[in-house]
Structure 1
């Protein structure tokens, strides 16, 4: 079945996830959806110093939004801030240093942010990683899971009270179409069994993000949650984590701006606001979260079990 999934997924990817796929989909975009001002609204973007995160930050800054860049590296973050200010003319750009794989520090950052800032309108969970060898963080958690899943969970959960204070709050998570080849598994979240396959671990994390988004949408009806696939984009992350894929597909990859388009659309457009919460998007359209006949669906009970595991893990690292 995994061969079937991978084959169907790759054929779908060549057709839809490439630059050509974006150009075909964009013919149906409504230009006025992005002809808006978001002055007075604040946006937190994790991994905002390069690739899709930086492209989204710049586009939103040009529309007047206050941008909080959450990045691992101070030097690269400050360079990104300077670039965004220069290109947008918007000086309301702020840098925060955080590595989402450092579990306790995610809690500490979120709690400190809530004390300093009275509001947050939009959280964009963009940061992610693909560590190609199995490594663990200071808390003993597998690095990809710590950053992509638990870090995203803790940051979002901690900031929900701040988001709920605002009008029209949103949470947007940048997932991946790679999750379509994965069924949610709750029995080996730390990738301790069998051979470690970084691409599949990453895809599993991205499936987990989709499930988290769907569950959050059910439990927090006053926040609009969405999760999206940016397509196959030419970003530093892809170049570093998947050099062979990047080399073979380079001419077909989307630009970071094309990859970020749906993030920006979800973050600022009224058209996106009118759609149900909890959906998975690709090129400004809600799309299925499972491939046909791929056997990747699980029961609602399994999804709740996953959320309970995350909650217990998150609490175990929460500062007291």
Structure 2
């Protein structure tokens, strides 16, 4: 199974986020990579009712794939589904309502999905959550950690058994370039010590996603408002942001690429800046994964 991390790479230069950077990179794209039909293949996309998730769902629907949209808000999800069906002509689009921050419900959802559906070819972990202030979910976990990290871990791990029944199963986790300014920190997973900075907490969670994806690959061989305001005119469109996710999810070329790595603009790139201080030790990474597993078990229904 292939697991990928996809992102607009941050702080190699803010220009990496821009439309111009995408247009420059797209000159080397092999267009036939996406000239494929995925009819008969099924794709689960979290956060599929807006932004990159919606653009990803639309692109896959147009290629004939069955799309399972996993969203928090039913009204917004149904509105997005109707548009996707109307524009793509594909009626195999299904809405599932789930709040990834409610981690016990993530377990329940994944187990119910496995009972109802016989196959899943691709899981795209796209949904993300950034909080203005620290909040806890009903299980007493910091809400953005529960949504961005633990919920993603639980959903992915629970669905691996179903994914592995498919030909060329893939897991794509949409990260963020913000993780390039963060080193993995395992001593404050709940962000309950020190001042709560939502943007930096989010960036840390994206670093945690990168480590998680690396480690899971080994075992199976809302955007920042101030930044968005200042960069509005030059930021990538949702379709441009979704391009690498779609490429990783559907192309034969991506199937030949190494699993568990960090991809930007259809190529594998480093998950760290040159000479970066953000690298973690194997011991730290194993401790992090053990912490996730322990937390996940406390949320699992018995």
Shift of 1:18: 1.0
2:81 corresponds in structure 1 to 81
Distance 1:178 1:281 in 2: 14
Shift of 1:132: 1.1
1:101 aligns with 2:83: no
Query: 2:233 is paired with a residue of what secondary structure?
Result: helix
2:242 corresponds in structure 1 to 260
Distance 1:14 1:177 in 2: 10
1:312 aligns with 2:261: no
1:39 aligns with 2:21: no
1:271 aligns with 2:253: yes
2:57 corresponds in structure 1 to 57
1:121 corresponds in structure 2 to 121
1:300 aligns with 2:282: yes
Compute the TM-score of the two structures, normalised by the length of structure 1.
0.90
Compute the TM-score of the two structures, normalised by the length of structure 2.
0.96
1:5 corresponds in structure 2 to none
Distance 1:89 1:253 in 2: 29
1:166 corresponds in structure 2 to 166
Shift of 1:14: 2.3
Distance 1:52 1:286 in 2: 20
2:15 corresponds in structure 1 to 15
1:155 aligns with 2:137: no
Shift of 1:39: 0.4
Query: 1:252 is paired with a residue of what secondary structure?
Result: coil
List runs of 5+ in structure 1 lacking aligned partners.
1-7, 222-236
State the Cα RMSD in Å: 1.1
Higher relative contact order (CA 8 A, sep 6+): 2
Distance 1:74 1:250 in 2: 28
Distance 2:87 2:127 in 1: 22
